[in-house]
Amino acid sequence: MSSAWPGGRPRRTLSAIAVLSLTGAVLAPLSAAADDDALVAPGSPAPESKIQTVQGSGTQVVPGAYFVQLAGPSTVLGGSMDSIESQRDRFLADVADAGVELEVRSEFGSLWNGLSVSAEEDSLPQLASSDAVEAIFPVGVVDAPEEPEGTQVDPELFTAISMTGADIVQSELGYDGTGVKVGIIDTGIDYDHPDFGGNGSPDSTTFPTERVAFGYDFVGDDYNADPSAGEAYQPKPFPDEDPDDCQGHGTHVAGITGASGEVTGVAPGVTLGAYRVFGCEGSTDSDIMLHAMEQTLADDMDVVNLSIGSAFSAWKEYPTAQATDALAREGVIVVASIGNSGANGLHSVGAPGVGEDTIGVGSVDNTFYDAIVFVDEEGNDVPFSVGSPAPVPPTSGEDTLVAVHEPGTTEAQACGADPFTAEEQAVIEGNWVLIQRGTCSFYEKARNGQAAGAAGVMLYNNVAGTINPSVAGDPPIEVPVVMVGQADGERLAADALATDGHTVTWTGEEASVPNPNGGLISSFSSIGTMADTTFKPDLTAPGGLIYSTYPLETQPYATLSGTSMAAPHVAGAAALMLEADPDLGVEEAKLRLQNSSIQLPFNGAPDVGLEIVHRQGTGMIQIDDSILAQTTIEPGLVQLGQQLSGESSTQSVTVTNTSDTEQVYAVEHIPAVATSGTANVFGYYLAPAEVEVASSVTVPAGGSVEVPMTITSPAVEGEMGPIFGGYVTFTSGEGEEADTYTVAYGGQAADLQETEVLADQIDADGNVTQEMPAMGVVAECGLFLGYECVEEGGTYSYVDEGYVYSMEQDDAPQVLVHFEHQARRMEWEVFAAADDGSKGESVGTVAELDYLARSATRNGFSAYPWDGMMLDENGAKVRVPDGDYILELTVTKAKAWNDDREAQTETWDSPVFGIAFEGSDYGNEDRASVERTLGQDRYSTASELAVEAFPQGAETVYVASGQAFPDALAGGALAGSVEAPVLLTQPDALPDATRMALQQLGPDSIVVLGGDGAVDDDVVTALGEYAETERLAGSNRYETAVQVSQSHAENADVVFLASGRDYPDALAAAAAAGMEDASVLLTRPDLLPGATSEELARLSPETVYVIGGDAAVSDDVAGAAGASAGEVVRLGGTNRYGTAAAVAGEFFPTPGPGAFLATGTEFPDALAAAPVAAMNNMAVLLTKPEMLPADTVEAMTQMRAQLVHIVGGYGAVSLEVQETLEAVVYP
Q: Convert 500-544 into a string of H (helix), E (strand) and C (coil).
A: CCEEEEEEEEEEEEECCCCCCECCCCCCCCCCCCCCCCCEEEEEE
Three-state DSSP class for residue 993:
helix
**Is 249 assigned a catalytic role?**
yes
CA angle 318, 324, 330 (to 5 degrees): 135
Catalytic residue among 564, 597, 806, 855: 564
Instruction: Find all residues with CB under 8 Å of 182, minimum gap 6, and list them.
Output: 257, 258, 267, 270, 271, 272, 273, 301, 302, 303, 304, 305, 571, 572, 575
Nearest to 883 by CA among 807, 808, 947, 958: 807
Measured in degrees and rounded to the nearest 5, phi and psi for residue 752 equal: -60, -25
Distance in angstroms (rounded) separating the CA atoms of residues 360 and 814: 36
Amino acid at site 352: P
- β-pairing, 704-712 vs 690-692, is antiparallel
Nearest to 855 by CA among 1002, 757, 714: 757
Instruction: Find all residues with CB under 8 Å of 470, minimum gap 6, and list them.
Output: 149, 387, 388, 442, 443
Distance in angstroms (rounded) separating the CA atoms of residues 400 and 503: 4
b/e per residue, 1058-1092, with b = 16+ CB within 10 A?
Answer: bbbebbbbbbbbbbbbbbbbbbbbbbebeebbebb
- Angstrom CA distances, 774 to 3, 6, 759, 821, 883, stand at 14, 15, 11, 17, 19
Distance in angstroms (rounded) separating the CA atoms of residues 181 and 217: 18
End-to-end CA separation in angstroms for the chain: 38
Catalytic residue among 143, 167, 176, 186: 186
**Is 186 assigned a catalytic role?**
yes
Distance in angstroms (rounded) separating the CA atoms of residues 655 and 1193: 72
CB 233 within 8 A of CB 227: yes
Contacts 24+ apart (CB under 8 A), 918-924: 918/882, 919/806, 920/806, 920/807, 920/808, 921/808, 922/807, 922/808, 922/809, 923/807, 923/809, 923/867
CB 516 within 8 A of CB 466: yes
Distance in angstroms (rounded) separating the CA atoms of residues 293 and 299: 10
CB 46 within 8 A of CB 88: no
Q: Convert 668-706 into a string of H (helix), E (strand) and C (coil).
A: EEEEECEEEECCCCEEEECCCCEEECCCEEEECCCCEEE
Q: Where are the beta strands (DSSP E) in 949-1089?
A: 956-961, 982-985, 1005-1009, 1028-1032, 1054-1059, 1079-1083
CB atoms within 10 A of CB 96: 13
Catalytic residue among 249, 502, 818, 1205: 249
Nearest to 679 by CA among 534, 562, 815, 528: 528
Instruction: Find all residues with CB under 8 Å of 676, minimum gap 6, and list them.
Output: 682, 683, 685, 687, 716, 719, 720, 721, 722, 723, 750
Amino acid at site 883: G
Nearest to 40 by CA among 950, 542, 876, 677: 677
CB 279 within 8 A of CB 235: no
Is the four-CA dihedral 5, 11, 14, 15 of positive or negative sign?
Answer: positive
The angle that helices 319-329 and 286-298 make with each other, rounded to 10 degrees, is 10
**Is 564 assigned a catalytic role?**
yes
Catalytic residues: 186, 249, 564
